[in-house]
Structures are given as structure tokens and as C-alpha cells.
Amino acid sequence: MIGAGEERLAFRRMRASDLPRVMEIERAAFAHPWSEEMVRRELSHEFSTVLLAASPAEAPGQEILRGFLIAWLVHDEFHVLNVAVDPEARRRGVARALLGEAESRAREQGARMAMLEVRRSNAAAISLYRTLGYREVGIRPRYYAEDGEDALVMDKAL
């Protein structure tokens, strides 16, 4: 458990029962959200992790889910696929805390490099990734099928 702004967060892997709340956050966070089936499939891949950040609760089952991260660990590469934070919890360090926790777990499992793609227009995310040590290493032209936007490719040594 770590502090994120004024809020303490606990981290755990997603369970199937978390899917409705994860999809609420996904739909609120993105103009082109992942489908429920895409998120559900990540739960079945051995190489995939869906890590949740929640505010701990007084009573079991009463936690408040603040955000999530989906990533793959393939050999020694940690690939961040999706980071989403509840709009009400933004600017409180939730994404930063999720990335830090996920990177730490990936390092413990042998990851040496982290990489991600981010929309060229997503200045807030790009700024966050830079402060965490990610660097721009390329562009994937028209990466996002929904609107043809380019993706910046960023990586970081772990």
C-alpha cells in the first residue's frame, strides 16, 4: 500500500467479478474504450496482468476501484497496453502509482525493458511517462484504427 496524493492505494490482480467496474472506468477514461471481451480475454492469458489500484476499505468488499493497468510480460520485456484512471481520481498519482507497482513486479519477474504506445495527442500521459523515465523511441503511423492517430513509442530500462 502506498500513498497517492492524499489517497492510500492497495494493489491486486483483477478478478472476473471486477469486470463491470473496470469497464465503467475504461468507458469514462477513453473516447475509444476497449471492449468488455478484450478486457475479459486479458484475464486468461498467462503473460497478461490486469493490476487494480483501489482505496482500501474498512470492510471486505467495500474498496473503491480507482484505476487499472493492463500489461504483458514477454521474456524480459514489459509492455504496457492500457492505463485507465477513474476521472474522479485523476491528478492524485493513481496512474503513477500503478505504473510504479507494475514495473516493480515486472522487474521481480525478470523484465529488463518496459515499453508502451501512447496517442500523440495525449500530452498529459506523455508528460507522466517522461517523468517516470520513459523516452520516445519511435512513431507508429496511424496506429489507432478508430481515428488513424499516430502513436509515440516509448521505452524505459528497468
Q: Is 98 exposed, middle or buried (0-12, 13-18, 19+ CB in 10 A)?
A: buried
- Mean residue pLDDT of the chain comes to 92
Q: Mean pLDDT, to the nearest integer, of 134-151?
A: 95
Q: Mean pLDDT, to the nearest integer, of 38-53?
A: 96
Longest CA–CA span in the chain (Å) reads: 48
Residues 47, 127: Cα–Cα separation, whole Å: 28
User: Sorting pLDDT into bands at 50, 70 and 90, what band is 63?
Assistant: confident
90 touches 83 (CB < 8 A): no
Query: 492505463: which residue's cell?
Result: 83
Judged against a pLDDT cut of 70, whether residue 22 lies above it is answered with yes
Judged against a pLDDT cut of 80, whether residue 142 lies above it is answered with yes
Specify the pLDDT at position 41: 96
User: Sorting pLDDT into bands at 50, 70 and 90, what band is 61?
Assistant: low
- In the chain, the amino acid numbered 18 is D
Specify the pLDDT at position 58: 62
7 is catalytic: no
Could you tell me the domains of the chain?
2-114 (3.40.630.30)
Of these residues, 129, 134, 143, 146, which one is catalytic?
129
Percentage of the chain surpassing pLDDT 70? Answer: 92
Specify the pLDDT at position 55: 87
Please tell me whether residue 17 adopts helix, strand or coil conformation.
helix
129 is catalytic: yes
Of these residues, 7, 26, 103, 117, which one is catalytic?
117
Gyration radius (Cα) of the chain, Å: 15
Q: What is the pTM of this model?
A: 0.91
User: Sorting pLDDT into bands at 50, 70 and 90, what band is 11?
Assistant: very high
- Determine how β-strand 113-119 pairs with β-strand 135-144: unpaired
Judged against a pLDDT cut of 90, whether residue 28 lies above it is answered with yes
